[in-house]
Structure 1
Amino acid sequence: MSYAVQPGDTLYSIARAHNLSTNQLLSLNNWSTPPTLQIGQNIIVNNTIENSSNEDIIHIVAQGDSLYSIAKKYNVGPADIIEENDLDPNNGIYIGQELYIPELESDEEENIVSSTSSNIQKHIVLKGDSLYSISRKYNVTPQQLLEKNQMQPNSPIYIGQILFIPTSDSNSAEKLVTEEKETVVKKKAPAEVYTVLQGDTLYQISQKFGISPQKILELNGFDSSQPIYVGQQLKVKNNGKAEVIPPPKKQPSSSQKSHTVSSGESLYAIGRKYDLSPAEILSANNMSIGATIYVGQVLTIPSPQLNVKPKVTPTTKEEVNVYTVQSGDFLSKIAKKYNITPQELVAANHIPKGRIYVGQKLFIPTSKNNSSPQNNSVKQAQGNSIYQLSKIDGQQLFSKGLYSRIGTNYSIHPTDLDNVQKRLVQLGILHEQHNESPRNIGGSTNNISGQRVPKTMAAIRKLQDRYRLNWWVGSPARTEMLGTDKYTYGEIVPNDVTFKFLKEYTQYTLSFPHPITGQTQTAEFNNFVYSGYNQFYNGVGYLGKSLPNEVPLSVFKEAGLSPILAEAMKVVSSHEGNFDAINSYDKAFFSYGFIQFAGGGRGLAPLIARMKVTEPALFGSIFQNAGIDVEYTTRNNDIHQGELIINFPGKGTLKGIDAEKELRNHHQMYGPFIRAAFHPKLIKAQIIQAVKAYATPALGIKLSINTGQFNQSNIPITDIINSPMGLGFAIDMTVNKWIVKTGEMFNNAISSLCKQKGWHQLHQISMIDEREVLQEIVRQEGGADKRVSDRGNSMLKSSLSYSKDPQKGKGLLA
């Protein structure tokens, strides 16, 4: 179902009118950022399409859809959708894909857990499922499950996937239980383990567990001269109970270890345990990227590739320094201070597992210029190894260009036709079973008339409509950016907009481990963003998944906002992005975060500096380990300005705006920014920076009101504008236009309204209806700047209160 844009429409008003959120509307139309609407433009407002004959139902895949959720919506089985659309069960679906929904008779409805057949069971993979949990549910082994579904060992499973369950009779079930019983032995339970916390002493721990400090030393096999450290695991007592353990397994070779996967473990967590990257573990086990591990699986643990240097024994005082570990220190920070590597620091001090503690004395070996480019590149490779980037584009298909035009009235070279059809199928525009390939119509060596391939010609027009390719020739700036002004509806011309799109439009998928749970997260985005602010067509607009509305108000208050401003900031963020949002297509080069902290010498670098200052250890593990750092200056004891410093693989280190420009093209290096937005401490750092960079300046605006009879300057904005709605809009405009223009807009609107009302006294002006002020700003400024119109109207329609604050804004900021 589509809707034609009418005069005065906004994306928000259209979404509301059709019971959608703005994000849902963006997903339905495959827009990564809010577009510039045009009167008469057709917008998809419902992801169900029925053809004129009412025989076929087509579902357009939207963000968040899965085969399971779509099947449930139409009361059919996922298997029916797979069969109807000739899908590969092992491939996922993607946003914008058109799926034909089969019609079933009432007695053909399928149970989502298993089929009605007594001989065949099916299981639909749900959130939280693993091969192990599914196999336990049906009394089979993971290996039997893999074999039944013709899957390779360690193949990943995904939500919505259909798995056929092998037949399991009572005998096999009994055998499974018997085998389990036979494989266990009993032994005395291990000692209870306690993890040392900040501030713990051996005496305090002994008191907690009712034993002597000497007993703890005896249980752990060390003497009183050895200090304890934060994170150390200490045996504190035996509970005397027996536990079930698996029989000993075959010993690995001396150069390798094995690890049996336990409940709750992830590849990332296992990698951290053995000081390896997930990629190294996957490689050692011949597993593909994204493979699923399951409880009980035995993994081969390879030996670390980097050999630790021999222990350095200091000989004279001139050769070493002694450093006392301070609160907030971490190995990389100390090593950088003395121009050595963390590995050398560990080797010189024989630090167990690289753990240090406050008050610890460290020997600092003499620097021998070990911060070489080679060592830096090794460190960065380790940091980047957890970010896996895949992409789909047409570069390989069209590496040699086109032989000639493609269109209904042209004779088409068979290679051109074949490549275009493959790309249209890949984009979900042309059905795979189109039967118009050169082989099907007998033209594999001779040119083919465009009239003989009507489905292909229709798909070309559909591509141009869906992706609004004429938009790219709508202004001189866009044609200059794209490098061509050629566009013909229904045709593809060598090096025109349609050809360039088919070749260079890229769908990216970035995978990385969650910074806390280790569970795999994915980010999907594409280039060719439709925005009036686009200045770099190869940049992307990623809305993100780390949502501000899922963060408790208490976090906003801890960052320095009152409950009133916390609610307002959440509405402001709905106009910008999520905590992991990224924009790399406009003049800001690279913008990031829920307020879209912009590059180009603006808010991006100070935000990254805020993360570095407030959470140095996290910053080191997420950003610095991937070759990303920041330098900053201070003013009034706070962060003022900064510059990114990025070490790009193969390109060396760049700084400031040069680094931001280069970052746009390195999509794998988006990973640390997106990953950081899933850690609560770094989310809080974003909110703190938003308060300091935007909320505080907005509330400090001074107004100059002139009604003709009343003319006064330096009036605090909060004396007149102090409702959540009014202040939220002031912050929103400060983010986008800064305080000078924001103050000017409020000045003009308030002065104009007061003239109309005949108000010429400050106490009258201070009681002005703040809704009217926002409406007047939209009227005066919205025609020239769509952001003012959209965001002003959104504020007016939000649930924020427009009631005056009797305290006139006092206490809004901590």
Structure 2
Amino acid sequence: MSYAVKSGDTLYSIARTHQLSTDELLDLNDWDSIPTLQIGQIIIVKENTTFQGDSSDDDDVIHTVAKGDSLYSIAKNYNVSPADIIEENDLDPSTGIYIGQELYIPELEENETSTTTSSVSNEIKKHIVTKGDSLYNISKKYEITPQQLLDKNQLPKNSPIYIGQILYIPEADSSVNETPLPSTSEVKKKTPPAIYTVLQGDTLYQISQKFGISPQKLLEMNGFDASQPIYIGQQLKVKNDQQTIIPPLPKKEDKTSGKTHTVNRGESLYAISRKYDLSPAEILSANGLSIGATIYVGQVLKIPSQKINIKPKVTSTTSKNEIRVYTVKPGDYLSKIAQQFDVTPQALVAANRIPKGRIYVGQQLFIPTKKTTTSTNSNAPQTPIKQAQGQSIYELSTLDGQQLFSKGMYNRIGSNYNVHPQDLANVQTRLIQLKLLSEHHKENAQQLSNNGSSNISGKSIPQTLSAIRKLQDRYRLNWWVGSAARIEMLGTSKFTYGEIVPNDVTYKFLKEYSQYTLKFPHPISGQTQVAEFSNFVYSGYNQFYKGVGYIGKSFPNEVPISVFREAGLSTVLAEAMKVVSSHEGNFDAINSYDKAFFSYGFIQFAGGGRGLAPLLARMKVIQPELFKSIFQNAGIDVEYTTRNNDIHQGELIIQFPKKGTLKGIEAEKELRNHHQMYGPFLRAAFHPELIKAQIIQAVKAYASPALGIKLSINTGQFSQSNIPITDVINSPMGLGFAIDMTVNKWIVKTGEMFNNAVSSLCKQKGWHQLHQISMIDEREVLQEIVRQEGGADKRVADRGNSMLTSGLSYTKSPNKGQGLLA
């Protein structure tokens, strides 16, 4: 078998594509040394392929599709048309080409011309749809009308076109009436496949456009609603049984004027309807289009001559003159559209019967009048949210020293000082609360001070001083003055072992260290759940000493593997994710002390404009009633935007008692100080459906990006970029660590760590070929990352070593990670 060299090819890349070594490729072509390749040069890539100089005309030229190839680029390389390749290989343009596919390249004869319909020399013109084409610009190029182009190709008026599609071009002077129609009542058309398998990057809207049906119809045909995301590998019905295309028949005279309008770039249905003093619904009705239909550039629309009696499915109070239609644009979301038209999101949902409030780009929405606006609006951020009932079920108690030390301290406490009796009494009470001093100590301040009339010698209170030292040791109080950042955070640099000085770290800790107990009912059983947490978290990442760290009690290990699988993870990756969560927390874990302001959940979905708000948005979309009962009723809500029919970004909206409503990062910062409002987050983590929402969001936000990392390996003699990480790292252990680092470092730093470790190990081993690199021991890679990065970042060291001892398999996947994510 032969191969024609194309732009960007190297001897190594050609050998790898055809599963050969460079030496085997040199032998097949009888080369003594590595040649300089020329574009279009024919080389042998398989044994038993005849190749004799110029006699290669008798051989088939076969091109193996590589990454980045398209029909257009392949055709251009071989100086043929995409249509010729499609016909030569009997391809269905709607299915596209794939990496590794072998395509036969047709040969062009010197006197080759286009096929003719008869002895007349008229050519049958064909056009291959390329990126950016529309019916309008294609018809303009060939000096015909869009309708003639549709008729010539027997396409219905709402049919979209797609890249790679072959369109037959009618004569420039031909008319619609001259196009012959079969005499049968039905015209059978070559239809797309009945089942379509979802590919990476697909959206519901893109698939619906590709097969010429509306997104609503696609949902109906497959028996699910817009709240259910599609996933890679999912098989969708894309046509009804016995689908045929009915040719247009002469219609009886109707109420149209014979006027038509050709849609131009940038025009919307609303703009066109205003131009002709009509409503969008009237134009839709005149053209037999449904509410969800989209219009396209070059489409010919019939314009009715008079008002048509439209009965919109909005409410009984809406008249035809009040109908407004809005086409959803990228970046739109229900609250934004509702605010634009001064209606509520609920009214939009009710008027358009939107499943669970999910909208998509291109969808046309009827805008109801204010008459149809619902009287209640608990979901809308601009309306006050009832929170009395929601907050009352969360019981918070706090143990701290604020009241004891409300007046400060009079003097130092230490063995070399005279101690004020009130200072000593307050300190002893606090030390007893912290269980560092016995209630039965014999150093009563009142007795030692002659009933409070004089100071007390520090040498007479050894038990109290011992308890102070225990306090300083147990809570490592000297650590808080060990860096300039922590000194600035606490507002003091003073610390003396065995003593308390007014306003030093020990005093500040005794006063402000808080132990919180939060009680709330289980969301299903109603049984009381108890969460205990405290501030002054001993962590190098602490940037807010009043913040807390709570690891939680809703354990991932108690969740069945089936739940992880339903969320899109394979069994092996579910086990890896459980190990990752052991480094982060449980489903009810909370961290409010580091730079992320407020993090929550088993993967610690971070605030600061990162993963926290999208997680709450996922809960709101998947379980709106649960979200309302747990979060909204307690004053916590979220607004979000979508991209590619999925949650993109979000923003918290929280109503604080006495503080009012705050949004975004300001809401997250304030949330840190309102410990009672931690309750809804903790309670949600005990409901199976909201647990599943956490897992689904973790897959989308961290697991999927981690598995999509591209490596750049350089061993000195070998250098290649854009290598999928799963070509090299594909065991549960290796991928689990990649996900863990993506959670904490994101994909750029994670990719860099794997690049450096793999490159270094392969250089040491003398491995300079990709097939060797792909077989690297993944345990050694993790050990090398710990060696290189662990000294400067304890988190990398701890989590790398934890993965190495986790019991996860380090056996490589023969499928290179395929099938780990749905």
Q: TM-score, normalised by structure 2?
A: 0.55
- 1:124-178 deviation line (CA, Å, top 9, x unaligned): xxxxxxxxxxxxxxxxxxxxxxxxxxxxxxxxxxxxxxxxxxxxxxxxxxxxxxx
In the alignment, residue 383 of structure 1 is paired with which amino acid? G
Name 2:442's counterpart in structure 1. 435
Equivalent residue number for residue 107 of structure 2: none
Question: 1:781 is aligned with what amino acid?
Answer: E
Asked if 1:421 is matched to 2:428, the reply is yes
Alignment partner for residue 594 of structure 1, among 596, 602, 627? 602
Q: Does 1:510 align with 2:525?
A: no
Taking the aligned partners of 1:372 and 1:550, their CA distance within structure 2 comes to 33
| Distance in 1 separating the partners of 2:440 and 2:379 | 56
1:782 aligns to what?
790
- Shift of the alpha carbon at 1:317? 7.1
1:761-796 Cα distance to aligned partner (Å, 9 max, x none): 111111100000000011011111111100000000
In the alignment, the residues of structure 2 paired with residue 371 and residue 568 of structure 1 have an alpha-carbon distance, to the nearest angstrom, of 39
**Letter aligned with residue 395 of structure 1:** Q
**2:801 alignment partner, SS class:** helix
Distance 1:576 1:375, change over 3 A: closer
CA contact (8 A) 2:710 2:751 kept: yes
Q: Render the CA deviation track for 1:344-396: whole Å, top value 9, x for unaligned.
A: xxxxxxxxxxxxxxxxxxx9776789999999667112211111111000000
SS at match of 2:446: coil
Superposed CA offset, 1:570-605 (max 9, x none): 000000010000000011000100000111111111
Which of residues 711, 715, 730 is equivalent to 1:707? 715
Q: Deviations over 1:401-455 (max 9, x none)?
A: 0011111111111111111110110111100011211233334221111111111
Paired residue for 1:796? 804
Match of 2:621 in 1: 613
AA of the residue aligned to 1:618: L
Does the 8 Å contact 1:338/1:364 carry over to 2? no
Deviation by residue 1:28-57 (Cα, 9 ceiling, x = unmatched): xxxxxxxxxxxxxxxxxxxxxxxxxxxxxx
Q: Does the aligned pair in 2 maintain the 1:339–1:367 contact within 8 Å?
A: no
Question: CA offset at residue 715 of structure 1?
Answer: 0.9
Over residues 741-766 of structure 1, what are the superposed CA-to-partner deviations in whole Å (9 max), with x where a residue is unaligned?
11111111111100110111111111
**SS in structure 2 of the partner of residue 477 of structure 1:** helix
Deviations 1:550-583 (A, max 9, x none): 1111111110001110110000000001000000
What CA distance in whole angstroms lies between the structure 1 residues aligned with 2:752 and 2:376? Answer: 55
Q: Deviations over 1:327-349 (max 9, x none)?
A: xxxxx9xx99997899xxxxxxx
Aligned residue runs from structure 1 range 66-465, under 5 A? 379-441=386-448, 442-465=450-473
CA RMSD between the two structures: 3.3
Residue identity matched to 2:428: Q
The equivalent position to 1:569 in structure 2, one of 577, 598, 616, is: 577
| Secondary structure of the structure 2 residue equivalent to 1:767 | coil
The separation in 2 between residues aligned to 1:317 and 1:808, in whole angstroms, is 58
- Structure 1 residues 562 and 462, CA gap change in structure 2 (3 angstroms): same
Note closer, same or farther for the CA distance 1:396–1:374 as it changes in structure 2 (3 Å cut): farther
**SS at 1:606's partner residue?**
helix
- State the secondary structure of the residue aligned to 2:653: strand
Determine the C-alpha separation between the residues in 1 that align with 2:715 and 2:376. 69
2:200 maps to none
**Contact residue 712 and residue 755 of structure 2 kept, 8 A:** yes
- Out of 460, 480, 486, the residue aligned to residue 472 of structure 1 is 480
**1:541 deviation in Å?**
0.4
Deviation at 1:613, TM superposition (A): 0.7
Report the 3-state secondary structure (helix = DSSP H, G, I; strand = E; otherwise coil) of the residue aligned with 2:720.
strand
What is the SS of the residue equivalent to 2:499?
A: coil
Deviation string 1:9-68 (CA, Å, 9 cap, x unpaired) is xxxxxxxxxxxxxxxxxxxxxxxxxxxxxxxxxxxxxxxxxxxxxxxxxxxxxxxxxxxx
Judge conservation of contact 1:377–1:649 (CA < 8 Å) in 2: no
The superposition leaves residues 489-524 of structure 1 with CA deviations (integer Å, 9 ceiling, x where unpaired) of 111100000000000000001111100001111110
- Alignment correspondent of 1:657: 665
CA distance in 2: counterparts of 1:746 and 1:375, whole angstroms? 47
SS in 2 for 1:674: helix
Q: Does 1:668 find its partner at 2:672?
A: no
* 2:714 maps to 1:719: no
> Matched residue pairs, number?
477
Flag the 1:424–1:558 CA change in 2: closer, same or farther, 3 A.
same
The change in CA–CA distance for 1:652 and 1:495 in structure 2 (over 3 A counts) is same
Larger RCO (alpha carbons 8 Å, 6+ apart): 1
Aligned partners of 2:528 and 2:343: how far apart in 1?
Answer: 35
Q: What is the rounded CA distance, in whole Å, between the counterparts of 1:368 and 1:620 in structure 2? A: 17
Q: Distance in 2 between matches of 1:592 and 1:506?
A: 20
Find runs of 4+ consecutive structure 1 residues off by over 4 angstroms.
Answer: 314-318, 335-342, 363-378
Q: Using structure 1 for the length normalisation, give the TM-score.
A: 0.56
- Could you tell me how far apart the structure 1 residues matched to 2:554 and 2:665 are? 26
Separation of aligned partners in 1, 2:789 and 2:641: 36
- For structure 2, the 5+ residue unaligned runs are 1-314, 324-334, 347-369
- Shift, 1:710, TM fit: 1.1
| SS of residue paired to 1:379 | coil
- Could you say which residue in structure 1 is the equivalent of 2:556? 548
**Residues 696-742 of structure 1: CA deviation (Å, up to 9, x unaligned):** 00000111111111111111111110100000000000001111111
Tell me, what secondary structure is at the counterpart of 1:653? Answer: strand
The alignment status of 1:748 with 2:756, answered yes or no, reads yes
1:732 maps to 740
What is the SS of the residue equivalent to 2:516?
strand
Aligned residue number for residue 805 of structure 1: 813
1:178-212 Cα offsets, whole Å, 9 max, x none, are xxxxxxxxxxxxxxxxxxxxxxxxxxxxxxxxxxx
* Cα distance between partner residues in 2 of 1:447 and 1:629: 55
**CA gap 1:402/1:717 in 2 versus in 1, 3 angstroms:** same
Which SS does the other structure have where 2:712 is aligned? strand
Kept in 2, the 8 Å contact 1:572–1:728? The answer is: yes
Amino acid at match of 1:577: G
Summarize deviations over 1:56-93 as a string: whole Å, max 9, x none.
xxxxxxxxxxxxxxxxxxxxxxxxxxxxxxxxxxxxxx
Distance 1:505 1:792 in 2: 33
Match of 2:210 in 1: none
Structure 2 residue identity aligned to 1:626: A
Contact 1:508 1:526 in 2 (8 A): yes
- The change in CA–CA distance for 1:368 and 1:715 in structure 2 (over 3 A counts) is closer
Q: Which amino acid aligns with 2:722?
A: N
The aligned counterpart of 2:567 is: 559
2:631 is the alignment partner of 1:623? yes
Report the 3-state secondary structure (helix = DSSP H, G, I; strand = E; otherwise coil) of the residue aligned with 1:729: helix
Q: Which one-letter code corresponds to 1:800 in the other structure?
A: L
Instruction: Name the residue aligned to 1:301.
Output: none
Question: What is the CA-CA distance between 1:689 and the residue it aligns to?
Answer: 0.3
